[in-house]
Amino acid sequence: MSITRLLPIRLPGIRALLTLWYTAVFATLILLFCFILYTTLKTSLASGIDTALHLRTQQIAGGISYESGKITIQDVTGELPGLDTNATTGDPNATIQANVRSDVNVGILVRILDTKGQIIYISPAFHALVVPSTSISQPLHGAPWQGTVIAHNGQAVRLYSAALTDNGNIFGVVQVGGSLEQLTTTLQSITIALLLITPFVLLLSAFGSYWLAKGALRPIHRLTLSARNIKAGDLHRRVPVPQTKDEVQALALTLNEMIRRLDQAFTQQRRFVADASHELRTPVTVIRNITEVALAQPLNLEEHLAVLQDLNAEAERLGQLINDLLTLARADEGQIQLDRELVRLDLLAYDVAASIESLAVERSITLQIEQMEPATVEGDTARLILAMMGLVDNALTYTNAGGTVTLSVEVTGTSTCFSVRDTGIGIAPEDTAHIFERFYRADPARSRSAGGSGLGLAIVDWVVRAHGGSITVESQVGKGSIFRVILPMAVSISV
Ligand SMILES: Nc1ncnc2c1ncn2[C@@H]1O[C@H](COP(=O)(O)OP(=O)(O)O)[C@@H](O)[C@H]1O
Ligand SMILES: [Mg+2]
C-alpha cells in the first residue's frame, strides 16, 4: 500500500476528546460550586432572619403583661402602629403611612392573641397574611412555632409564634413576621450572576483545554509527519528525537528502532534474494555448458551416458538447493509446524552414523561413536535428523582423508548435548561468527567442489532454535572443530 494513500493528518480526535473531558469536569465543578454557594448563602441569610425575628419577638413580648385576666400591651419597641395614638392623628401623611404600614414588605407584622385565640392586637400589615391555625395552637401547648407563610400578594413571609407566659402560665400568643423579600431578591441576583458567569467560564475552559491539548499533541503531529516522509527506499533515515525525556521522546526512539530493524530486515532480504539468484544460476550455467558441448559434436553411447550422469548430478545439486531455499523460506514464514513427539537422541545419532558410514569409508575417514547416554527430547524426528546430517555432512566434507569424525550424546542436568567433533581443516576465528548465516562459506572454492551452497548450517541453526535449543562451535584452523547442539530434555519420558 502506498504511504500517500494514508489519511490526511488531522488530529481533532484526541484534541476534541480532551477538550470535552476538561469542559465536562469543569462544568461539574462549577455546578457543584454554584450549588454549595447558593445553599450556604440561603441558609445563612435565612438563619440571620430567624435570629432577628426571635429577638424582635422577645422584645415585643417583654412589653406585654398579664394582670387579673387582662392583657396589657406596652409598645416598648415604639413600632407597633395603633398603639401610639399620635401616629394616626394630626399627621398630613397619614394615608401614605397607613398604606406603607399595610404592605407586608415594609409594614410591621405583629399579632397578639389570648389563650382562646381572640385577637388582642393586630398590626395592619398582618391582615394580609394567611396564617395556619397550628401557629396558634402549637405555642399554646408550649412549643414555639416557626414557618414560612404566604401573603395575599404572593410574598413569602417568615413567621415566628411564641407563647406569652406569666410565672410559667401561658396567657397568650405573640406572632411576629418578617418579609423574605430581601432574601428572595438577593438569591435571585446571585442566581442571575452565576447563570451569566458560568457559560463564560465554561467557554474559557473549553478554549483553554483545546489550546493546551493542541500544544501537547504538536510534537506527536510533527513526529507523524516526519515518519510519513520516510519511504521504503530510504530506511536509513530517522525521525528527529526531541530531547524532552518524555513520552514523545520515547515514541521517537521506538520509531527509530523499528525503522532500523526494518532496514536490517530489508537489507538481509535483498542480499538473500541476490545470493539465491546467484546460486541458482551456477548449476543452470553448468547444465547449459554440458549440453552445448554435447550438442556441438556427435557422441557415442558411452559419452552420452557420461553427459547424462553430469546432468543428473547438477540437477541433484539444483534440487537440493531449491529444497534448502524452500525450507528456509517456509521457516521464515512460520509455515512449518514441528512435530512434538518424544525422540531418543542417542538412537537417532546411531541411525545417522549408520547411514553416513559408507560415505566415511569412501573418504577414508574414521567415524567414531564416543559417548552415547540415553537422552529423550521432545521434537520433530525428521528435522532433528536433518540437523544431525547437516553437521555430520560438514564434518566429513571439511575433514581430509585419514581424519576422524566423532559423535557423542551427553546429558547434563535438564539438557542434553549432541556433539560432532572432527580433525578437519577447522574454521578461522573471523569466520566462526558468520558460518550460520545463509550462503556464508569460509572457503567458497572448497565448498563448491564438495557440493555445499552455504545453507546447511542456517537450516541446522533454525531446527535447533525451533526446538528451544542452541548451537555453538569451537574450532582451530588445521586441527579441527566441535559443533555442540544443546537441547532441553523432555519433561516426561515414555516407558
Ligand atoms: N566441520 C567444519 N569444519 C570446517 N569448516 C566448516 C565445518 N562446518 C562448516 N564449516 C564452514 O562453514 C561454512 C558453512 O557451512 P554450511 O552452512 O554447511 O555450508 P556449506 O554448504 O558450504 O557446507 C562452510 O562453507 C565451511 O566453510
Ligand atoms: Mg554444509
Task: List pLDDT tens digits, range 275-289.
Answer: 899 888 988 999 999
How far does residue 485's CA lie from ligand 1's centre (Å)?
16
d(CA 127, CA 61): 20
388: exposed, middle or buried (C-beta count within 10 Å: 0-12, 13-18, 19+)? buried
Residue with cell 407586608: 104
The residue whose CA is least distant from atom 21 of ligand 1 is 452
What digits encode the pLDDT tens for the residues 441-452?
Answer: 887 666 556 657
The preferred substitution site among 320, 392, 435, 471 for testing ligand 1, maximizing ligand atoms within 8 Å of CB, is 435
The model's confidence at residue 492, banded by pLDDT at 50, 70 and 90, is low
Q: What pLDDT shows up at residue 231?
A: 80
The residue whose CA is least distant from atom 27 of ligand 1 is 442
Ligand 1 closest atom vs CA 436: 17
How far does residue 432's CA lie from ligand 2's centre (Å)?
14
Q: What pLDDT shows up at residue 167?
A: 84
Q: Between the CA of residue 108 and those of 81, 120, 476, what are the distances in Å?
A: 8, 16, 120
pLDDT at 215 over 70: yes
How far does residue 391's CA lie from ligand 2's centre (Å)?
7
Output the nine-digit C-alpha cell for 435. 558460518
Choice between 266 and 90, residue whose per-residue pLDDT is larger: 266
Q: What pLDDT shows up at residue 5?
A: 57
If you average pLDDT over residues 111-132, what whole number do you get?
Answer: 90
Q: Between the CA of residue 94 and those of 79, 87, 98, 109, 111, what are the distances in Å?
A: 15, 8, 6, 19, 22
* Nearest ligand to the CA atom of 443: 1
pLDDT at 3 over 90: no
Pairing of strands 119-122, 480-488: unpaired
What digits encode the pLDDT tens for the residues 28-84?
Answer: 999 999 999 999 999 999 999 999 999 999 999 888 888 887 888 887 777 777 775
pLDDT at 1 over 70: no
Q: Is the CB of 435 under 6 A from ligand 1?
A: yes
The preferred substitution site among 317, 356, 397, 399 for testing ligand 1, maximizing ligand atoms within 8 Å of CB, is 397
Residue 412, strand partner residues: 415
Contact 384, 351 (CB under 8 A): no
How far does residue 52's CA lie from ligand 2's centre (Å)?
108
The model's confidence at residue 493, banded by pLDDT at 50, 70 and 90, is very low
How far does residue 16's CA lie from ligand 2's centre (Å)?
62
Residue with cell 412555632: 145
If you average pLDDT over residues 454-472, what whole number do you get?
Answer: 95
If you average pLDDT over residues 383-411, what whole number do you get?
Answer: 95
Q: What is the overall mean pLDDT for the chain? A: 88
Q: What pLDDT shows up at residue 70?
A: 85
Burial 342-369 (b: 16+ CB within 10 A, else e): ebbbbebbeebbeebeeebeebebebee
pLDDT at 12 over 90: no
Model confidence pTM above 0.85: no
What does the CA dihedral 287, 291, 292, 298 come to, rounded to 10 degrees? Answer: 160
pLDDT at 145 over 50: yes
The model's confidence at residue 399, banded by pLDDT at 50, 70 and 90, is very high
Residue 154's identity, in one-letter code, is G
Q: Which domains does the chain have, with CATH numbers?
A: 62-182 (3.30.450), 247-331 (1.10.287.130), 338-488 (3.30.565.10)
The preferred substitution site among 457, 464, 476 for testing ligand 1, maximizing ligand atoms within 8 Å of CB, is 457
The model's confidence at residue 242, banded by pLDDT at 50, 70 and 90, is confident
The residue whose CA is least distant from atom 23 of ligand 1 is 452
Output the nine-digit C-alpha cell for 358. 559408507
Contact 456, 386 (CB under 8 A): no
Nearest to 431 by CA among 459, 473, 398: 473
The model's confidence at residue 216, banded by pLDDT at 50, 70 and 90, is confident
The model's confidence at residue 235, banded by pLDDT at 50, 70 and 90, is confident
Q: What pLDDT shows up at residue 85?
A: 42
pLDDT at 369 over 80: yes
Say how many CA atoms lie within 13 Å of 363 toward its Cβ: 21
Q: Is the CB of 452 under 6 A from ligand 1?
A: yes
If you average pLDDT over residues 200-229, what whole number do you get?
Answer: 89
Contact 89, 72 (CB under 8 A): no
Q: What percent of the chain has pLDDT over 70?
A: 91
Q: What pLDDT shows up at residue 8?
A: 60
If you average pLDDT over residues 238-255, what whole number do you get?
Answer: 90
Tell me which of 95-99, 133-137, 343-347, 482-486 is least confident. Answer: 95-99
Q: What pLDDT shows up at residue 89?
A: 43
d(CA 103, CA 378): 103
How far does residue 310's CA lie from ligand 1's centre (Å)?
24
From the CA atom positions of the chain, what is the Rg in Å? 53
pLDDT at 393 over 80: yes
How far does residue 481's CA lie from ligand 1's centre (Å)?
10
What digits encode the pLDDT tens for the residues 304-355?
Answer: 999 999 999 999 989 999 999 999 988 888 888 899 999 999 999 999 999 9
